[in-house]
């Protein structure tokens, strides 16, 4: 009997913790899987996904920069994927892919469950308008935030995300270079890849921060360091990276593939310990 094949697609992808997470979930549930990381450029993504399916692939996660492309390749999608216009979870149904987006619920579960935040009534600044931002925006609105301000270095992308949310007045776009005019926020989310690369520095107006501000980077590991360094310097009350969100969205994907939602606390704790060990070793 062959082992079911799963994968995570991205570019780059060597840093991904998804294989480690899914393997831990499967072991805890007594399920045998073959889950691997597949690096595919944007030009090669569709062909790589076809090859994976032809080789027996039945489910996949999708990360930067393929989430919007994955949405376009699906024959069917969930309502939350449709709202986002982006997909991070694929399930093979017959000869076609079914797509979902678990990023948003993963973020909300991490912030409200693991970290005890109440998102209701908060002004939120969302930095970025790509697949990651599109994935979390609907769930933030459903969690009861007061207002969502979307800022992107390409204004047209921010406007497109705002239009897709269909909540005029509650979701608005802002020019990146004019952020200091937007007042302060209780939650600032970095959904850009601006922190990637050696020597990267993240700079935002300090006026965005108030005494309650929580800063969240959807990246984790080294990619999250510049934004979180800015958040600490700006005096944010809390700073979180995207590791907790990663584990929670992975659990949602696992549930769709295997019909059971795994416990996440032990896997999250193990990843945190491993990350701390790696930093100490450096």
Sheet order of strands, 57-62 included: 33-39, 4-10, 57-62, 89-93, 96-100, 76-77
Question: Does 59 score more than 70 pLDDT?
Answer: yes
Mean pLDDT of the chain: 94
Helix (H, G, I), strand (E, B) or coil at 127: strand
Cis peptide preceding 12, ω within 30 of 0: yes
CA dist., res. 177 & res. 154, Å (int): 11
Q: Is 42 helix (H, G, I), strand (E, B) or coil?
A: coil
User: Where is pLDDT greater, at 41 or 281?
Assistant: 41
Domains and CATH numbers, the chain: 4-101+244-281 (3.40.50.10860), 104-241 (3.40.50.720)
pLDDT tops 70 at residue 229: yes
182 is in an annotated binding site: no
Mean pLDDT of 216-225: 93
The residue-averaged pLDDT of 45-66 equals 97
Average pLDDT over residues 194-199: 58
Spatial separation of the C-alpha atoms in residues 100 and 90, rounded to whole Å: 7
Query: In the prediction, which pLDDT does 27 show?
Result: 97
- Write b or e for each residue in 165-175: b if 16 or more Cβ atoms lie within 10 A of its Cβ, otherwise e: beeeeebbbbe
The H or E element spanning position 35 is strand 33-39
- Residue 249 counted as an annotated binding residue: yes
Q: How many C-beta atoms surround the C-beta of residue 141 within 10 A?
A: 19
Q: Which of 13, 21, 25, 67 is catalytic?
A: 67
Confidence band of 77 (pLDDT split at 50, 70, 90): very high
Percent of the chain with pLDDT over 90: 91
Residue 123 assigned ligand-binding role:
no
Residue 123: its H or E element: strand 123-127
% of the chain residues with pLDDT over 70: 95
pLDDT of residue 2: 78
Q: Residue 256, annotated ligand binder? A: no
Average pLDDT (196-211) is 82
Residue 86 assigned ligand-binding role: no
- Residue 275 has a pLDDT of 84
- Cα separation, 158 vs 249, in Å, equals 24
Q: Tell me what pLDDT residue 282 has.
A: 29
What is the rounded distance in angstroms from the CA atom of residue 40 to the CA atom of residue 245?
A: 23
Was 18 annotated as part of a binding site? yes
Active site residue 93: no
Output the pLDDT for position 277: 72
Whether 268 has a pLDDT exceeding 90, the answer reads yes
pTM, two decimal places = 0.93
242 assigned to a ligand binding site: yes
92-146 per-position pLDDT tens digit: 999 999 999 999 999 999 999 999 999 999 999 999 999 999 999 999 999 999 9
Beta-carbon neighbour count of residue 280 at 10 Å?
Answer: 7
If pLDDT is split at 50, 70 and 90, which confidence band does 200 have?
low
Read off the pLDDT of each residue in 195-204 and give the average, rounded to a whole number. 69
Question: Residue 99 in contact with residue 89, Cβ under 8 Å?
Answer: yes
Burial class from Cβ neighbours inside 10 Å (0-12, 13-18, 19+) for residue 79 reads exposed
Q: Is the pLDDT of residue 9 over 70?
A: yes
Among 57, 60, 52, CA closest to 5: 57
Write out pLDDT tens, residues 146-167: 999 999 999 999 999 999 999 9
């Amino acid at each position: 009997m062959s082992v079911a094949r799963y994968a995570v697609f991205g570019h780059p992808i060597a840093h991904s913790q998804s294989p480690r997470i899914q393997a831990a979930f499967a072991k805890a549930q007594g399920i045998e899987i073959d889950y691997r990381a597949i690096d595919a450029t944007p030009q090669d993504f569709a062909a790589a996904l076809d090859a994976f399916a032809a080789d027996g692939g039945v489910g996949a996660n999708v990360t930067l920069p393929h989430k919007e492309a994955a949405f376009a390749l699906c024959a069917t999608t969930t309502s939350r994927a449709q709202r986002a216009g982006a997909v991070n979870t694929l399930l093979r149904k017959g000869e076609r892919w079914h797509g979902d987006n678990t990023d948003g619920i993963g973020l909300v579960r991490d912030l409200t469950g693991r970290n005890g935040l109440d998102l209701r009534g908060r002004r939120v600044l969302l930095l970025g308008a790509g697949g990651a931002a599109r994935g979390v925006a609907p769930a933030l609105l459903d969690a009861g935030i007061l207002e969502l301000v979307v800022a992107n270095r390409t204004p047209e992308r921010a406007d497109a995300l705002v239009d897709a949310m269909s909540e005029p007045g509650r979701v608005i776009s802002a020019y990146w270079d004019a952020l200091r005019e937007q007042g302060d926020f209780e939650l600032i989310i970095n959904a850009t890849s601006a922190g990637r690369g050696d020597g990267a520095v993240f700079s935002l107006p300090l006026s965005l921060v108030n005494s309650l501000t929580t800063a969240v980077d959807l990246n984790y590991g080294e990619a999250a360091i510049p934004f979180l360094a800015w958040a600490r310097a700006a005096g944010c009350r809390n700073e979180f990276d995207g590791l907790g969100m990663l584990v929670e969205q992975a659990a949602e994907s696992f549930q769709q593939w295997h019909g059971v939602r795994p416990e996440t606390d032990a896997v999250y704790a193990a990843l945190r310990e491993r990350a701390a060990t790696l930093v100490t070793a450096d």
